[in-house]
Amino acid sequence: MTIFEKSVSGRKGYSLPDEALHDSSPLSKIPEHLLRKKAVELPENSEVDIVRHYTELSRKNYSVDNGFYPLGSCTMKYNPRLNEEMASLEGFSYLHPYQPTESIQGALEVMYELQRMLAEITGMDAFTLQPAAGAHGELTGMLIVRKYFELMGEDQRKKVIVPDSAHGTNPASAKMAGFDVVEIASNPSGLIDLGNLKAALDETVAAIMLTNPNTLGLFEKDILEISKLAHDNGTLLYYDGANLNAIMGHVRPGDMGFDIVHLNLHKTFSTPHGMGGPGSGPVGVKEKLKGLLPAPLVALNDDGYYLDYDLPDSIGKVRSFYGNFGVLLKAYAYIRMLGKNGLKFASEMAVLNANYLRVKLSKLIPPSHPGICKHEFVLDGSVLVKEFGVKTLDLAKRLLDYGLHPPTIYFPLIVHEALMIEPTETESKDNLDRFAEVIEKILEEARDNPETLKNAPYSTPVRRLNETMASRKPIMRWKAEK
């Protein structure tokens, strides 16, 4: 039921003093032509009705604050509350982007330091904080690639190579920036196939987009050879840094030979995400590409911090003002709080947790690819179809009844019936053990009574949705009946 349907004519959640409606009140001075002709249709509810309504809605929601959220590729880790507090300090939250730079030196310092810290963590030379999400960072990076080859007079470089395990945003971003996407098949180990890569590389290839560890959670061990192949061919190497959580403090994309990276601050650096909240996808580049970054960068001279618009080859602005400042603050606080060793430790725990769970679950459902993983791993759910006649989807739906968020399913596309699990570093061993126990229990149900899975979930506000209709024809608003 919506709050409108709970409306009762004449019920109020406020009281105004009588004077407010009196002739002498400011309200009476509003010119006639600016006044509504017809009362606005708002719900009429008491305060307690409203509090109960929204509390009930919030309880129907599931989040990291409710429990385990092993949604592979998304890094749904718990984010320390302290960083939220830092981002809501009044000195920051009441700033206006049009304020003169002398009056916002503190905010500029945070941005300047964050640019530098991200460059240090990734091994790049310069960063823009403007892009508002990972995919937005990818588009920014691809526009930089395009501009670079325009300036080099190499207009024939119209292709971008993307492996078949890539996140869907990679080919989409390359295409949006005007490139033709060439997909290359991974080898049986789930890694870049060097033969396929060499065959696809020629003087028309502008960039190769990779993530490392890749979307199967596997480290591309041939990365140095890949980067040599790219650079010998005059091709730029682009790093999708949404998986940085696996390697922070251990290896740096810049040292692997990447020329451009984007990071997902809302995955790795302490901003809660999902449900479309604000994100941030800063883009870092090597020195030779610095002049192409979106203007302005935050810089420092003897007079203090300032906004540097002196980027003659800039691709232009990609977002209003300077990015999602609140997200930048949280990332800054998180990095300062953990320090170098803390970031390194966070990655180690993410990888340890993933491998602990991988080994436990591999006894129940085989992994899609052999070997030690990084921060996430993929299981091959096709055995469920063969043995019990149930699909990965059924397993995922049944998990909801046990109060657990399911892993990512049916992605990456190269694994049939894929289950992609990313436990993250913020879960205890107890939580991982419980998840494995629940999976074991559900597999017993699948053997004894597969219908239990096929009709799940039973305990959620809505049962099985028509997912195609929900995505193609979502009903986003409620309309009052006249």
Residues that bind ligand PLP (CB under 6 A): 73, 133-135, 167, 169, 211, 215, 240, 242-243, 264, 279, 281
Q: Which is nearer to ligand PLP, 119 or 162 (CB)?
A: 162
**Nearest CA to 291 among 272, 314, 308?**
314
The Cα-based distances of 91 to 103, 104, 105 in angstroms read 11, 9, 11
Output the smallest distance, CB 53 to ligand PLP, in A: 30
Output the smallest distance, CB 78 to ligand PLP, in A: 18
Q: Which is nearer to ligand PLP, 136 or 358 (CB)?
A: 136
Q: Which is nearer to ligand PLP, 211 or 270 (CB)?
A: 211
Q: Find out whether 139 and 104 touch, Cβ atoms under 8 Å.
A: no
Output the smallest distance, CB 186 to ligand PLP, in A: 15
Residue number with the smallest Cβ distance to ligand PLP: 134
Output the smallest distance, CB 412 to ligand PLP, in A: 10
Q: Which is nearer to ligand PLP, 243 or 324 (CB)?
A: 243
Q: Give 314's contacts (C-beta < 8 A, 6+ positions apart).
A: 291, 292, 293, 294, 295
Q: Which is nearer to ligand PLP, 45 or 212 (CB)?
A: 212
The Cα-based distances of 412 to 61, 72, 408, 419, 480 in angstroms read 26, 10, 9, 9, 42
Output the smallest distance, CB 74 to ligand PLP, in A: 6
**Nearest CA to 390 among 441, 440, 451?**
451
Distance CA 313, CA 319 (A): 17
Q: Find out whether 263 and 118 touch, Cβ atoms under 8 Å.
A: yes
Q: Which is nearer to ligand PLP, 144 or 443 (CB)?
A: 144
Q: Environment class of residue 380 by beta-carbon count within 10 Å: exposed (0-12), middle (13-18) or buried (19+)?
A: middle
* 3-state helix vs strand vs coil in the chain, percent to 5: 40, 10, 45
Distance CA 192, CA 282 (A): 26
Distance CA 231, CA 400 (A): 47
Q: Rounded to a whole number, what is the distance in angstroms from the first to the last CA of the chain?
A: 17
Q: Which is nearer to ligand PLP, 115 or 173 (CB)?
A: 173
Q: Find out whether 19 and 25 touch, Cβ atoms under 8 Å.
A: yes
Distance CA 162, CA 166 (A): 7
Q: Map residue 344 onto helix, strand or coil.
A: helix
Distance CA 172, CA 183 (A): 12
Q: Which is nearer to ligand PLP, 135 or 419 (CB)?
A: 135
Output the smallest distance, CB 178 to ligand PLP, in A: 19
Output the smallest distance, CB 166 to ligand PLP, in A: 8
DSSP label of 67: S
Output the smallest distance, CB 275 to ligand PLP, in A: 12
Output the smallest distance, CB 132 to ligand PLP, in A: 8
Q: Which is nearer to ligand PLP, 141 or 381 (CB)?
A: 141
Distance CA 93, CA 428 (A): 34
Q: Which is nearer to ligand PLP, 76 or 285 (CB)?
A: 76
Q: Give 363's contacts (C-beta < 8 A, 6+ positions apart).
A: none
Output the smallest distance, CB 161 to ligand PLP, in A: 16
